[in-house]
Structure 1
Amino acid sequence: MNEQNRKWIYLFVLSIIWGTSYILIKKGLEGFTPIQLGSARIIIAGFFLFLIGFKSLRLITKEEWKWVAISGFIGSFFPMFLFAYAETEIDSSIAAILNSLVPLFTLFVGLFAFGVSFTKNQLIGVLVGLLGAGFLIFFGKGVNPNHNYWYAGFVIVATICYACNANIIKSKLQNVTPMGIAVGNFASIIVPALVVLPFSGFFSTEVTSGDFFWSSLGYIVVLCVIGTCIAKVMFNRLVQISSAVFSVSVTYLIPIVGIFWGVLDEEKFTIQQLLASLLILLGVYLVNKKVKLKAS
C-alpha cells in the first residue's frame, strides 16, 4: 500500500479511536479526580509502551532526546490533565468538538515558530473556526446553565499544545521512528506522573473502595492501550508521511464520533450547537484547503 492511501486509513482509524477517548475520560472521572486520572493514564500508557517498544529508545540521539522530551510534555503530559479538568464541567461531546481547533492553531504555530506561510483564505478559516468555537461555548451555557463553560479554556490550551507538538514532530523528529517518539515521550513524562500519583490520594481507602473505582480504572486502561499507545504511534507515523496540518485534520471526524457517544450517554446537544460545530469545521476546511490541493 502506498503512503497516499495509508495516510487516509490512519486518519480514519485515529478519528474513531480519539473520538471515543472523550467519553472514556468522562467515565474515568466517575471514580477519579483529574489529577488521579491524568497521572494514572500516563503511568499505564507508559508501561504498555515500554513493553512493546523499549528497544526503540536506543535509536534516539542525544540531540533528538531534547525534542522528544519537549514533545512528551507538550503533546501528552499537559493535555491529559487539561482534558480531564475540562470534562469535570463540560460534556464529552463539546470537548471532542473543541478539539477541532487543533488545525487552526497548527497553522499559527507553524507561522510564528517555524516560518510556514499561509493564505488569506486560511486566515479567514482561522477566524471562522474561532467564531464557531465562541458560539459553541455560548450555546452550551444555555443548554447546561449549571456547567462552568470557562473550563472549555482547558481544551483550547490543550489544542494549542497539540498544534505545537505536530510542528515539532514534523520539523525536528523526522529521523526518529514513530514508536521511538511515543516511547521516548512517555519515558520523559512518567517520572513526574509517578511522583504526583501517590500524593493525589489515588491509593486512599476512600478512592479504592468507591463504587466506580474498578469500572473507571477499566475505562482508563482501554483509553491508555488504544487511545494513547496505539493511536500515539499511528499519529506520529501519520505526521511523518503527510504534513503537520493534514495530520491534525483527523479532527474533522472526531466530533462526529464524540457527539455519537455523548448522545448515547444522554448528553444534551442542540441544533444551535450543531451549527456552531459546522462553523468550526468550515474554518478547518478553509485552513486545510491549500495543503490538500498541494498533496493531490
Structure 2
Amino acid sequence: MRVYYFACISAVLLWSASFIATKIAYETFAPIQLGVVRTCLAVLIFWIINKIVKNKEKIRKEDRKRVAISSLFGITLYFTLENIGVSMTSASNAALIVASFPAITSLLEFFVFRSKPSFQKSLGIILAIIGVAILTQITISGSSKSFWGNLILIGGGIVWAFYNFITRDLTNKYSALTLTYYQMLIGAIWFIPFVFLEDKPWRIPSVTSMNALIFLCVGCSVAAFVLYNFGLKKLSASVSVSLMNLVPVLGLVFSVLILGEVVSLLQIIGGIIVIIGVILSSIQIEEVSNEPNSNSAT
C-alpha cells in the first residue's frame, strides 16, 4: 500500500512545483507559446507511451465532436488563461486560487444542472468563494496587473469546470491514456490561432527555461498523470482528493523557497479559507462515483 501513497504524493509534489516552473519558463517563452510547446511535447510523449503499451483504442465517431470541444476547454483555453494569469500574479497566489477550482466547479454545477448541494457542500463553496475574494484583492507591489491576473485565473477555473461537464461521460467510455492523448493532440491544433493572436516573437530558449519546460511537460503533464492514476488503483477517492489539497500548500512553500516570494498574512488567511472550503465541497463530490475529477491539470 505504501507504494500507492508514494505514487500519489509524488504526483502532488510535481504539480505543486508547476507554478514555479511556469514562472521560470517565462524567461524566454511567452505564456501562450509555453502552452503550445508544452502541449506538443506532451502529445509526442503520450504517442510514444501508446506505442510501447500497444494501446490501439480510438475515439468513436459519435464522440469526436465532444472530445474536440473538451480539448478546446480543458487544454487550449485552460492553459492559455492559466499561463497568462500566472505571468501577471505571484506563483503563490496562483497556486491558492487554482486550489478553489473544485469549489468553482461545484458552484457552476448547481446553476447548469440544477443539482441540490448539501449543507456541507454549500458551506464549502461559500468559504472557497470568500477565500478567493480575499486572494483576488492581493496585488504585487500595489500593481493592478496582478489583480487582473487573479481574475484571469478565476476565468481559468470557470473554463475548467465546463471541461469537467463536457468530459463527464467520456471518462467512462475510454481509458485515461487514450482520452488524454487525443485531448492533448486536438488541443495542440486549437492553440495555433491563439499563438498568432499573442503576436510575440519566438526566442531561443535558455538552459533554465528549457529545463522548466521539460519539467512541465515530462514531470507535470506525463509523469504526474501516470503516478496519480497508478495510486488511484488502491487508494480511495477521498484519500486522493485529500492529497490533492496539498498542492496549493506546497505550491506556496515552493514559491517562497525557490522564487523568494513574500507571503502576506492576508494571503495565508485567504488560502486557509479556500482549502477548508475545498475540503468540505470535495468530500461531497467524491461520494458520487460518476462525478468527474474537479482538480485542475496543472
TM-score range, shorter chain: 0.7 to 0.9
Once the two structures are TM-superposed, the CA of residue 199 in structure 1 deviates from its matched residue by 8.1
Partner of 1:13: 10
Partner of 1:286: 280
**Whole-Å Cα distance in 2 between the matches of residues 203 and 134 of structure 1?**
35
Same amino acid, percent of matched pairs = 22
Partner of 2:250: 257
Gaps of 5+ in 2: 290-298
> CA separation of 1:293/1:171 partners in 2, compared to 1, >3 Å: closer, same or farther?
closer
> CA separation of 1:246/1:188 partners in 2, compared to 1, >3 Å: closer, same or farther?
farther
Once the two structures are TM-superposed, the CA of residue 236 in structure 1 deviates from its matched residue by 6.9
Match of 1:218 among 186, 211, 222: 211
Provide the secondary structure at the position in 2 that maps to 1:87: helix
Partner of 1:275: 269
Q: How many residues align?
A: 285
Partner of 2:293: none
Once the two structures are TM-superposed, the CA of residue 186 in structure 1 deviates from its matched residue by 1.4
Once the two structures are TM-superposed, the CA of residue 197 in structure 1 deviates from its matched residue by 5.1
> CA separation of 1:78/1:236 partners in 2, compared to 1, >3 Å: closer, same or farther?
farther
**Whole-Å Cα distance in 1 between the matches of residues 73 and 22 of structure 2?**
19
* TM superposition score normalised by structure 1: 0.82
> CA separation of 1:58/1:202 partners in 2, compared to 1, >3 Å: closer, same or farther?
farther
* Letter of the structure 1 residue corresponding to residue 207 of structure 2: W
Q: Which shows bigger deviation, 189-198 or 75-84?
A: 189-198
**Whole-Å Cα distance in 1 between the matches of residues 129 and 94 of structure 2?**
15
Partner of 2:183: 185
Partner of 2:40: 43
> CA separation of 1:14/1:66 partners in 2, compared to 1, >3 Å: closer, same or farther?
farther
Partner of 1:158: 156
**Whole-Å Cα distance in 1 between the matches of residues 223 and 63 of structure 2?**
22
* Letter of the structure 2 residue corresponding to residue 50 of structure 1: W
Gaps of 5+ in 1: none
What is the 5 A alignment of 1:220-235?
220-232=213-225
Provide the secondary structure at the position in 2 that maps to 1:262: helix
**Whole-Å Cα distance in 2 between the matches of residues 243 and 219 of structure 1?**
32
Once the two structures are TM-superposed, the CA of residue 200 in structure 1 deviates from its matched residue by 6.0
**Whole-Å Cα distance in 1 between the matches of residues 191 and 256 of structure 2?**
33
Contact 1:103–1:249 (CA<8 Å) still a contact in 2?
no
> CA separation of 1:136/1:198 partners in 2, compared to 1, >3 Å: closer, same or farther?
closer
Say which structure is richer in helix. 1
Contact 1:75–1:161 (CA<8 Å) still a contact in 2?
yes
* Letter of the structure 1 residue corresponding to residue 269 of structure 2: L
What is the 5 A alignment of 1:1-296?
11-53=8-50, 56=55, 58-114=57-113, 116-138=115-137, 140-141=138-139, 144-146=141-143, 148=145, 149-193=147-191, 204=202, 207-208=203-204, 213-232=206-225, 251-264=244-257, 265-291=259-285
* Letter of the structure 2 residue corresponding to residue 192 of structure 1: W
**Whole-Å Cα distance in 2 between the matches of residues 116 and 30 of structure 1?**
44
CA RMSD across the alignment: 3.3
> CA separation of 1:252/1:263 partners in 2, compared to 1, >3 Å: closer, same or farther?
same
* Letter of the structure 2 residue corresponding to residue 19 of structure 1: S
**Whole-Å Cα distance in 2 between the matches of residues 98 and 223 of structure 1?**
19
Contact 1:128–1:280 (CA<8 Å) still a contact in 2?
yes
Provide the secondary structure at the position in 2 that maps to 1:145: coil
> CA separation of 1:282/1:164 partners in 2, compared to 1, >3 Å: closer, same or farther?
same
* Letter of the structure 1 residue corresponding to residue 262 of structure 2: K
* Letter of the structure 1 residue corresponding to residue 253 of structure 2: F
Contact 1:57–1:183 (CA<8 Å) still a contact in 2?
no
> CA separation of 1:240/1:115 partners in 2, compared to 1, >3 Å: closer, same or farther?
farther
